[in-house]
Amino acid sequence: MAKRRATWKVDRSATPGGRRKQVDGLLAAAAAAHQAGDFAGAEAGYGNVLAVSAENAVALRLLGTLYAQTGRSALAIPLLERAGVANPRDDDAHNNLGLALEAAGRGVEAEGHLRAALRLAPENVERYANLGAFLGDGGRPAAAVAILEPAAARFPDHAAIHTNLGLAYAALHQDAAACAALCRAADLAPDVARVRRNLGLLLARLGRPERARPHLQAARALGADDGEVLLHLGACGYARGEVEEAEVLFRTVLAKEPDSPMAHVDLAAVLRDRGELAEAMAHLQRAVAVDPGCAEAYSNLATCHLARGEHAACLACDDRAVALRPGDLAMASRRLSRLVYMASLTPAQVAADHRAWGERLMGEVAPVARPAWDGAMDRPVRVGYVSADLRAHAVATFLEPILAAHDPAAVEVTCYSNVARPDAVTERLRGRVPRWRDITSLDDRQAAAAVVADGIDVLVDLGGHTARHRLTLFARRPAPVQVTYLGYATTTGLAAMDYRLTDGWLDPPGFESHYCERLVRLPSGWLCFQPPAEAGGVAGPPCLATGHTTFGSFNSLAKVGEKVVALWATLLNRVEGSRLLLKNSSLHDPETCGLLRDRFAAAGVDPQRLDLVGLTPSAAAHFALYDRVDIGLDPFPYAGGTTTCEALWKGVPVITLAGDRAATRFGVSTLASLGLEELIAADGDAYVALAAALAADRDRLAGLRASLRARMAAAPTLCRPIPFTRALEQAYRGMVAGVSS
């Protein structure tokens, strides 16, 4: 945020009583030139006065002030010192000398003179503003608050006091007080660029882009067009989905400041979202070259490496980012979200890192007593769903049928939306529930108060450590029962999270040690799949027309690590003439495609046997690609969830691996709920054998393709929202009953 401008005093009466008329006239003329901005004329005029009266206190002060204003502190300081000697009670001389000494880096001396100015003129509001700003700028925000708080009470209509007080509060991370003070300053001085700039930057830092944006726009219109304002304006637009405008702003900053690390980081995010990974990584590498301490660049590099399936590089960048910012829980959480992809880590290691994060968070949140449940069993259970993914997202795909099927006599639903970019799905979901709260602009304290006011019995986290999660809200424990479900593949690590909803296939007995939460296993599967209208019909096995087997996976390339490539390469080499179709947004990037082809070539597979597809123009085009796939291949240790259900609905059987953690067993849960255990492999060798055998048995393949959709529709709960949701409601009722027992 911008530091305050020095408040120089140059308009005090320039004519001491008893002086000769010649001196009075010269001094008045010089002071008038000074006020008019004619610094050269004023300097000459003050010189003329001092030629006649060498120790004229006013001329010494005003010429010293002029030198300080024009950046000549070395000339200013001795003149202002002489002025103070000539008139020790001149508070303007002390004030201006203090500011000149501060500019010269002589802080201890500066503070003494600024305090002297305040003692001599306690009624002068500028004295409080200058001393408070000096203390805040000097890294002593608590001392600044001690000066500025009483001044704000005494001078409630002075914008500079509230501005400097707000900056001091912000430095102390007293965010609510900082917002209040800076908002007051903006009310008092809406046309002052610095005031609007500081408020906009604070709101942006606090993650409130909608509130920040108009202040940043106003600051820019008032002349504050610096890189920091443009970057945050771009970030606000990016958060709203105005990606093209954000890109223009980021590139504008780079045109002015080509070595701005954060401009490279922010532009890289836009490029990454478009699938332009190579260019995104080039910008991030430039950022760390310019600033090796830029933790955000390393964290975003980790995201890019993960999107290309480069797990070792991802971990290295994440570890570097966390080492640079060891106290940043948000950055540590992003690292945790990537651990579930890593085949090199055991479930115990993943769980330990999550628990350590949770312990740190709970240590930073003021202890909150567990809210009491009223014990009422004769009313609906009040359930609150908290998610940033109430939009076109996999979580919404599985949540929507549940929301539609909830029995109002059993549960009363509230959705707490942390969606940055609402879309048509958001609006559709909003219509599914009786109560909807947008918490994007609320901090955790405010969001927790809303949950408490709503009387929520069971608060359900749908995100874990995924983007824009609100686990920090759950740490405040605003509900008697807190549950994590659906959106994350392992523990939250949070002691305040009571339960995890799962099933016996996903988390069989013995997996309890992987979690902080108690496991509640739903009886017939943990997912409720809503077949998409765009899916279209089921085509016959493409191998009957092409003469060769096409294996396929539409999973994120982040899930396709070295071990997956090695196993799939073994399969391709086993099944003569077979091909592999991979579809993912990362494959929009030609360099990423080349790297993937090289990885398969190193494993002995001709790269020409790979069909790589990036972005598709529509959902219908996406589903049409399944018509080109004979057999789906599930990755590990992070298996497919949505992709497996989609493939099965399109008649594509999926081979999956029964691993040692829930993330690897998504396919196990889905296939077992359909009675298709024969497609579940116990290890890598069995995985290859099952896939190769199915490829060789085209009659069986055709039979599966023709029957899978009917099998899914007939499953106990997978595609049957009402029985699934009744089981879920019963689980919620059991949880609240457990609180009272």
What does the alpha-carbon distance between residue 679 and residue 701 come to, in Å, rounded to a whole number?
12
- pLDDT value, residue 16: 45
- Lowest average pLDDT, out of 132-141, 501-510, 660-669, 711-720, goes to 132-141
pLDDT exceeds 60 at position 2 = no
Strand partners, 552: 581, 632
Q: What percent of the chain has pLDDT over 90?
A: 77
In total, how many domains does the chain have? 4
- Sorted by sequence, the CB contacts under 8 Å of residue 413 that are 6+ apart come out as 383, 384, 385, 403, 406, 433, 434, 435
Measured CA to CA, the distance from residue 195 to residue 163 in angstroms comes to: 7
CA distance 210 to 636: 39
Instruction: Write down the pTM of the prediction.
Output: 0.85
Has residue 369 got a pLDDT over 80? no
What are the E-state strand segments in 157-248?
Answer: none
Distance between CA atoms of residues 440 and 212, nearest Å: 13
Same domain, 296 and 404: no
Q: What is the pLDDT of residue 296?
A: 96
Q: Measure the CA dihedral 504/710/647/338, to 10°.
A: -20
On whether residue 227 sits in a domain, the answer given is no
Strand-pairing partners, residue 416, are 386, 437
pLDDT in tens, 535-594: 999 999 999 999 999 999 999 999 999 999 999 999 999 999 999 999 999 999 999 999
Contact, 316 vs 288, CB < 8 A? no
> CA 675 to CA 678: how far, in whole Å?
8
Measured between alpha carbons, how far is 701 from 496 in angstroms, rounded to an integer? 47
Q: What's the alpha-carbon Rg for the chain, to the nearest Å?
A: 33
**Count of C-beta atoms within a 10 Å radius of residue 320:** 18
Q: Are residues 342 and 387 in the same domain?
A: no
Give the pLDDT confidence score for residue 371 in this predicted structure: 79
User: Which residue range is the domain that position 349 belongs to?
Assistant: 239-364
CATH number, residue 325: 1.25.40.10
103 in a structural domain: yes
Residue 207 located in a structural domain: no
Tokens describing residue 466: 């995924």
DSSP structure class, residue 194: H
State the amino acid at position 628 in one-letter form.
Answer: R
Does the CA dihedral 175-181-187-191 come out positive or negative? negative
* Residues 549 and 693 placed together within one structural domain of the fold: yes
The CB density around residue 138, as the number of other CB atoms within 10 Å, is: 14
pLDDT tens track for 402-453: 999 999 999 999 999 999 899 999 999 999 999 999 999 888 999 999 999 9
- Whether residue 196 has pLDDT greater than 80: yes
Provide the token pair at 89.
């009670």
Max CA separation in the chain (angstroms): 117
Instruction: Tell whether 427 and 561 lie within a shared domain.
Output: no
pLDDT of residue 18: 45
Instruction: From 82, 80, 102, 103, select the one nearest 92 (Cα to Cα).
Output: 80
Of 681, 691, 575, 684, the closest CA to residue 633 belongs to: 691
Residue 369 lies in a domain: no
CATH label of the domain that carries residue 441: 3.40.50.11380
Tell me how many degrees the CA angle 427-431-437 measures, rounded to the nearest 5. Answer: 75
Report the percent of the chain where pLDDT is more than 70: 97
Nearest-CA neighbor of 10 among 20, 26, 33, 24? 33
Give residue 127's identity as a one-letter amino acid code: R
Residue 8: pLDDT band with limits 50, 70, 90 = low
CA distance 545 to 629: 12
What does the DSSP assignment read for 386-442?
Answer: EES--SSSHHHHHHHHHHHH--TTTEEEEEEE--SS--HHHHHHHTTSSEEEE-TT-
Residues 390 and 434 in one domain: yes
Supply the CATH number for residue 629's domain.
Answer: 3.40.50.2000
User: What confidence tier does 740 reach under pLDDT thresholds 50, 70, 90?
Assistant: low
Residue 738's pLDDT band (boundaries 50, 70, 90)? confident
* Residue 483, phi then psi, degrees to nearest 5: -135, 145
Q: Are residues 591 and 483 in the same domain?
A: no
Q: Are 505 and 427 part of one and the same domain?
A: yes
Closest CA to 532 of 426, 623, 617, 429: 623
Q: Long-range contacts for 279-286 (Cβ within 8 Å, ≥24 apart)?
A: 280/304
d(CA 567, CA 580): 12
How confident is the model over 618-642, as pLDDT tens digits? 999 999 999 999 999 999 999 999 9
**Which of 503, 522, 541 is the last residue before a domain boundary?**
522
Residue 525 is predicted with a pLDDT of: 96
Tokens describing residue 533: 């209208």
φ/ψ (deg, to 5) at 508 = -70, 165
Cβ atoms of 350 and 389 within 8 Å: the answer is no
Angle at 97 between CA 92 and CA 102, to 5 degrees: 130
Q: At which of 493, 522, 551 does a domain end?
A: 522
Rounded to 5°, the CA angle 280-281-286 comes to 105
pLDDT at 703 over 90: yes
> Residue 686 and residue 679: Cα distance in Å, rounded?
10
Asked whether residue 458 is domain-assigned, the answer is yes
- Cα–Cα distance list, 285 to 298, 302, 304, 359 (Å): 8, 11, 11, 33
d(CA 636, CA 665): 9
Judged by average pLDDT, the poorest of 168-177, 305-314, 487-496, 693-702 is 168-177
Quick one: CA torsion of 515, 320, 282, 589, rounded to 10 degrees? -20
Instruction: Give yes or no for residue 705 having a pLDDT over 90.
Output: yes
pLDDT tens-digit series, residues 467-520: 999 999 999 999 999 999 999 999 999 999 999 999 999 999 999 999 999 999
Tell me, what DSSP letter sits at residue 558?
G
Query: What pLDDT band is residue 653 in, cutting at 50, 70 and 90?
Result: very high
317 in a structural domain: yes
- Would you state the pLDDT for residue 7? 58
Domain contains 228: no
What is the model's pLDDT at position 443?
87
Does some domain include residue 741?
no
| Same domain (yes/no): 140, 101 | yes
In terms of domains, do 572 and 666 share one?
yes
What is the pLDDT averaged over residues 359-388? 88
Instruction: List, for residues 342-367, the tens digit of each pLDDT value.
Output: 999 999 999 999 999 999 999 998 76
Are residues 412 and 283 part of one domain? Answer: no
Domain identity same for 543 and 677: yes
Same domain, 44 and 179: yes
Whole-number pLDDT of residue 6: 53
Length in residues, the chain: 741
**Residues 110, 90: Cα–Cα separation, whole Å:** 16
Identity of the amino acid at 408: P
Q: How far apart are CA 451 and CA 448, in angstroms?
A: 5
Q: How much is the pLDDT for 17?
A: 47
pLDDT at 739 over 80: no
Average pLDDT over residues 86-109: 88
In 468-552, alpha helices (H)? 471-474, 543-546
Q: Give the separation between CA 729 and CA 468, rounded to whole angstroms.
A: 27
- Domain limit, last residue, from 522, 557, 574: 522
- Provide the β-strand partners of residue 460: 385, 483
The mean per-residue pLDDT over the stretch 600-626 comes to 96
Pairing state of beta strands 435-438 and 458-461? unpaired
